[in-house]
Amino acid sequence: MTVDPAPRAEVEQLTARTAEFVREEVLPIEDAAGGDIEAAGGDDLRRRLQVMARDRGLLSPHAPVEFGGLGLGMVDRAPVFEAAGESLFGPLALNIAAPDEGNVHLLAHVATPEQKERYLRPLVAGEQRSAFAMTEPAPGAGSDPAALRTEAVKVAGGWRLSGRKWFITGADGAGFFIVMARTGGRPGDAFGATMFLTQADAPGIEVGRHIRTLDRSMVGGHCEVVLTDLFVPDDGVLGQVDAGFANAQVRLGPARMTHVMRWLGAARRGHEVALRHVAEREAFGARLADLGIIQQLIADNEIDIAATRALLVQACWELDQGRRASTATSIAKTFAAEAIGRIVDRAVQMCGGPGVSEDLPLARLTREVRPFRIYDGASEVHRWAIARRAVSAAARGRERSP
């Protein structure tokens, strides 16, 4: 198996144009607002930036061409998404921010033609946002999706959904929701879940409080959502009834990797800020960059950036080959989430006092990247899954031995 990490010429050009757009148009807005998307204008800013991205031919690079996107595969997305991630607002500007990016991927692979026209096309065009409602308060679904408790009961012409969701990213202002609900089995069963599509203004959906978290760059916040006898017609079922957990895997693996791409761009920006600082700052009779202890921090950052890219490309290649890539994506996500945190933390350390101030972007980057060790599966959960698969593979190997 040979994985070529070199991007195609057209992808290199797209990456360069993305980087130029982000640095010229997006970064100044982020800096002025301190990385707080609501302070910067929220949805109004999103629409304005996406018009600019569309005019430059940069909007929705991951989406199918027939629905208005650029049709990039997973490997080709990596450098483009990383370039966009140099600004916390860059992914939003290109319409590749969570949860919309993952929902585009899911709808493209699972939705019916009618659902694609109703939900996917306007999502790709940036005409509306979306939310993915799976996570629930304890004892409901979280790191363990099988704990799903939201119920969907079959009624004439459709389904009635009731339950509570929380940490639903982008819920405030979303145009539609993809809701996970239990149509079979009981909480704890790894089967019996179904995905439903519903307009956000449907009777029975209530978007509640914003759960204040460390990060401030995701439009629509992380919200509580209450479903009370929400009616979803039969044509609102996304995929097949009782196939929700399987369909979720279509979304989760790629979405984890695109998170890595975006946050790697943010971490690389932090590293470059620190490099400029230590190259100019003098102390103890020398540039900071000439001191051995600083050089070690620089080298460790370079190693973490290179290793993250290598694991990312491997996982993306497997996904492009049509593989489930569960182990590769878990490894890449776990390593990257921790490496990205290390990169930004070292950058703060190299910059000293300015590193923890608002004079540099490093303090806000620290705030933004820390939750990644929890979002899209906590590191501990991924480690458990990696180990479980390794033990299972070893057991199968012993069974095949004479």
Q: What are residue 207's phi and psi, to 5 degrees?
A: -85, 120
The confidence score (pLDDT) of residue 1 equals: 56
Q: Name the residue among 262, 225, 234, 210 with its Cα closest to residue 88.
A: 262
Domain limits, the chain: 9-124, 130-242, 245-400
Does 245-400 match 130-242 at the fold level? no
Which of 1.20.1260.10, 1.20.140.10, 3.40.710.10, 2.40.160.20 would CATH assign to domain 245-400? 1.20.140.10
The CA-based angle 236-135-389, given to 5 degrees, is 105
The confidence score (pLDDT) of residue 100 equals: 98
Rounded to the nearest integer, the mean pLDDT of the chain is 96
Which residues, 6+ apart, have CB-to-CB distance to 206 below 8 Å?
225, 226, 227, 228
Residue 191 burial (C-beta neighbours within 10 Å; 0-12, 13-18, 19+): middle
Cα(194)–Cα(234) distance, rounded to whole angstroms?
12
pLDDT exceeds 50 at position 400 = no
Cα(134)–Cα(174) distance, rounded to whole angstroms?
15
Instruction: Give the model's confidence band at 401: pLDDT under 50 very low, under 70 low, under 90 confident, else very high.
Output: very low
pLDDT one-digit tens code per residue, 263-303:
999 999 999 999 999 999 998 889 999 999 999 999 999 99
pLDDT exceeds 60 at position 13 = yes
pLDDT one-digit tens code per residue, 172-209:
999 999 999 999 999 999 999 999 999 999 999 999 99
DSSP β-ladder status, 193-199 and 237-238:
antiparallel
- Tokens at 67, concatenated: 């629905």
Which residues, 6+ apart, have CB-to-CB distance to 278 below 8 Å?
287, 288, 289, 294, 298, 350, 351
- Structure-token match 């950052």, residue found: 301
Instruction: Give the model's confidence band at 402: pLDDT under 50 very low, under 70 low, under 90 confident, else very high.
Output: very low
Residue % of the chain over a pLDDT of 90: 95
What's the whole-number mean pLDDT along residues 349-371?
97
The pTM for the full model equals 0.95
Is 231 in contact with 160 (CB distance < 8 Å)? yes
- Structure-token match 């890219």, residue found: 309
Which of 1.10.540.10, 3.40.50.1000, 1.10.3720.10, 3.40.50.10800 would CATH assign to domain 9-124? 1.10.540.10
CATH superfamily to which 130-242 belongs: Butyryl-CoA Dehydrogenase, subunit A, domain 2 (2.40.110.10)
pLDDT one-digit tens code per residue, 229-244:
999 999 999 999 999 9
pLDDT exceeds 70 at position 2 = no
Q: Name the residue among 129, 115, 108, 15 with its Cα closest to residue 64.
A: 108
pLDDT one-digit tens code per residue, 68-121:
999 999 999 999 999 999 999 999 999 999 999 999 999 999 999 999 999 999
pLDDT exceeds 90 at position 58 = yes
Q: Name the residue among 172, 30, 8 with its Cα closest to residue 91.
A: 30
- Rounded to 10 deg, the angle between the 326-351 and 244-280 helix axes is 30
